Structure 1
Amino acid sequence: MTSSTNSVRPRLPVPTAAALILAGTGLFLFFAATNVQSGWLYALDALLWAVWHWDLVLAGRRLPEITMTRLVPLHVGAGTEMTVVLSVRSDRPLRGLEVQDAGLEPYTTKQRAPIPLGYIRDAAAHETVTLRGTFSAPTRGRYAFLAVTFVTHGPFGLFRRPQTRHLSAPLWVHPVIRPWDGMIDGHDAEGNTAGSSRRTGQAGIFAGVRPYRPGDSLRQIHWPITARRGELSVKELELPPMQRVTVVLDLTHTGAVTEAAVATAADLIADLWQREIPLTLVGPGRTWEPARWEEILEWLADLHAGDLPDRSADPGAVILISDSLPTASWAPSLAAVYAPEGASAGGVPVRALLPLT
């Protein structure tokens, strides 16, 4: 994304602590010289004020037209380290510029922290300068990069003048996606216990054998071939095409439990997506079928508490994840087909449901 607009928020030069100390010293020398009528004190005072004003004038210089390109990821996991790359170019030389990204602005507040990018000491006309800054991505949500701030300094460092240029870009911060082991309190989404294969059910078609691996179900051992070979061999099954899975995310609160619920849903959805299982996603106010992974990340980033829509006509197998006891319109109609004991992941209620008929 590029921008070559003029400064949209010009500010007056801001004195540093050194400038205030120098001004105080100048006033003291002026009154001292007036009292004692000393010529050399007047001369020293005049020199101090000359330096003070010279630094003020140079710090307040206006920037030339600048072309900028910012490279940032569009989607990032919460808390992960990300890099902002800024390319700066001008038709005129650039000297003595401190550069910082104005920072991320949430869509819900007006608070943001600047991101230091570097310092342009001396760049010739038409030279492209590349600056980098790193920071940790904030909590889950929808954000925007809005501007870049250039800070000019006087030669003595007494004054600094921030000058801001617009350069916007969106950022979606989603939960960090972690591998889904398929198990929730010792059960997987199909109700199998730990130690059984979550992808090898009795409905599969026999396709061959392979050596036994720790964790394989003893029910899948092919005993005749095991006897002939003298080593444990496990049946390989080809699974029939998977039916649609509906993931229902019931959010009624805010806080750590809600974030854990969204993170749990993210891990599960990522696993189902990688397995190319048809998905329907249900969250506060919306039921939809994703076509791109990026759409899922943006949905996860911008989820907030709210009411669930009515149950769809044919949701297939349903998995309900909630940050509280299910009380929405989905709960009564699904209560009869909850897995016998339910389950939980990190204190978040997760219910694996049988296919609806």
Structure 2
Amino acid sequence: SLRLTPEGVRFLLLTLAVGVAALNTGNNLLYLLLAMMLSLIVMSGILSEQCLRHLVIRRRIPDHIFANRPALIVLSLMNRKPRLPSFSLRVLDVVEGKTVDRGIHVLHLPAGASVTQSYPILFPRRGRHRIEGFKVQTRFPFGLFIKAAHVPVSSDLVVYPELRPLPDGLLHDLAVLGHDQAVSRRGQGVGLYNLREYLPGDDSRMIHWKTSARQARLMVRETETEDLRQVTLALPTAIPAEGFPSFEQAVSLTASLAAYFQEQGFAISLLVGGREILSGMGEEHFYHMLHVLALCTPTVAEGSALGVPEEFGMLGERTMRGEITLVILPWPDPSMQQLAQGVSRVFHLWEMP
């Protein structure tokens, strides 16, 4: 595409005036001036076209992007022309059919050279986003026109929910809750769980020789398994037909709780509507949960209450087994409020600031 700049408009008007004067007067000097001005216009179009040819643009996006948190995107621009350089390049993103200026300017790009620049980008909401491509512009050589070329290099990305700091009071309550739910179990570990009499097939390395000498019989040391603390986060996705504004807040709180328990070394399982993410640990599991939360959508309900998913009916049993069960309610659903009486804690988002 080609667009006139304000300077280009004035230059064309001046060229038109010189042409009219040359025709009226027949002055050879004016004809010479008109020819020079027309040649500048033609040269401007040819040189600007050459600047935009054989350019290769690549975009590198971080693997994990969170809503309302700046992410750094790296853009590389390569000039594959064998001899001619490119000048005065400006690179813009194309998002939803509109150009967005990220402040990427390259004044001089020699033939065969490449340049790398980075810019921050901020997504205000979670979910799927798409950057459709690039638009490369140049004003070279005289600034009379803006020559632009569209480069269809699209990028699809998933933006995770916003992670917000948890209040100090809530952090204290979660720490106490985790301590209260800890259960010692027999298993592989270093702590002493019990002493019992030796049985055929037991590992001889587990014999406790001092106790065996005192009791005149072989005694085996049983160890206590390393404390594997487990937590289940449950987020109902059903909302009333008229909508409820706290659903996005509920998603953000669920993600923030998952980040907290990930740092504390918990095994985390997640219930989002009728979908269950089984208990797991590690960064890969954590980002898988964030991916599910990023793409979850509220289900519009009819009536004042909804049928409860089967997985939510098992939360009370999980609590009795020693797991921490946290339910994040985006709206006062009577059936969910009654079910949540047997869990460790319920967050009523419509009451939270």
> TM-score, structure 1 length as denominator?
0.67
Alignment of 1:327-346 (within 5 A): 331=336, 334=339, 336-337=341-342, 343-344=347-348
RMSD between superposed Cα atoms in Å? 3.6
Q: 1:122 to 1:41 in 2, by over 3 A?
A: same
The residue aligned with 2:314 is: 314
Is the CA contact 1:70–1:84 (under 8 Å) kept in the aligned structure 2? Answer: yes
Distance in 1 separating the partners of 2:148 and 2:76: 19
Structure 2 residue aligned with 1:70, among 59, 63, 80? 59
1:95 pairs with 2:86: yes
* Residues 265, 251 of structure 1: alpha-carbon distance in 2 compared, 3 angstrom cutoff: farther
Query: % of aligned pairs identical?
Result: 20
- In structure 2, the residue matched to 1:212 is none
- Contact persistence 1:19–1:52 (CA under 8 A): no
CA spacing shift, 1:111–1:51, aligned 2, 3 Å: closer
1:67, 1:60 → 2: CA distance?
Answer: 15
User: Match of 1:215?
Assistant: none
Q: Name the structure 1 match of 2:194.
A: none
Which deviates further from its counterpart, 153-162 or 312-321? 312-321
Describe the SS at the equivalent of 1:84: strand
- CA–CA distance in 2 between the matches of 1:102 and 1:203? 51
2:299 counterpart SS class: coil
Aligned with 1:304 (options 297, 307, 327): 297
Please list the CA deviations of residues 236-294 of structure 1 after superposition, one character each: whole Å capped at 9, or x if unmatched.
xx995434524224353778533222211111121223334333322245333265222
Mapped partners of 1:122, 1:63: distance in 2: 11
Partners of 1:31 and 1:41 in 2: how far apart? 10
Task: Compute the displacement of 1:141 (Å).
Answer: 2.1
1:19-98 correspondence runs (5 A): 19-61=8-50, 63-92=52-81, 93-98=84-89
Are 1:32 and 1:41, in contact at CA under 8 Å, matched by a contact in 2?
yes
Corresponding residue for 2:179? Answer: 200
AA in 2 matched with 1:282: L
Aligned residue type for 2:298: A
Alpha-carbon distance between aligned partners in 2 of 1:335 and 1:290, rounded to the nearest angstrom:
20
From 255, 271, 281, the counterpart of 1:282: 271
Contact between 1:96 and 1:122, CA under 8 Å: does it hold in 2?
Answer: yes
Q: Equivalent residue of 2:179, what SS?
A: coil
Letter in 2 for 1:242: R
How many residues are paired up?
A: 292
Partner in structure 1 of residue 248 of structure 2: 259
Q: Would the alpha carbon gap of residues 101 and 41 (structure 1) be closer, same or farther in structure 2, given more than 3 Å must change?
A: closer
The amino acid that maps onto 1:326 is D
Between 56-65 and 295-304, report the one with greater CA deviation.
Answer: 56-65
- Aligned counterpart in structure 1 of residue 122 of structure 2, from 133, 136, 139: 136
| Cα offset, 1:156, TM superposition | 0.2
Tell me the secondary structure at the aligned position of residue 18 of structure 2. Answer: helix
8 Å contact from structure 2 (residues 331, 349) kept in 1: no
> Aligned partners of 1:266, 1:47: CA distance in 2, in Å?
66
Q: How far apart are 1:97 and its partner, in Å?
A: 4.6
Determine the structure 2 residue equivalent to 1:224. Answer: none
CA contact (8 A) 1:257 1:347 kept: no
C-alpha distance in 2 between matches for 1:319 and 1:242? 14
Q: What per-residue deviation string (whole Å, max 9, x for no partner) do you get for residues 149-171 of structure 1?
A: 32233310111222222333332
The change in CA–CA distance for 1:116 and 1:267 in structure 2 (over 3 A counts) is: same
Unaligned runs of 5+ in 1: 1-11, 190-195, 208-237, 350-357
Distance 1:142 1:255 in 2: 21
The CA deviation string for residues 306-342 of structure 1, in whole angstroms up to 9 with x for no partner, is 1687222634244222332226xx61660553779x6
Gaps of 5+ in 2: 185-190, 192-224, 301-306, 320-324
Retained in 1: the 8 A contact 2:328–2:349?
no
Given that 2:77 and 2:114 are in contact with CA atoms closer than 8 Å, whether structure 1 keeps it comes out as: yes
CA distance in 1, matches of 2:343, 2:154: 46
Aligned partner letter, 1:113: V
1:6 corresponds in structure 2 to none
The answer to whether the 8 Å contact 1:285/1:306 transfers is: no
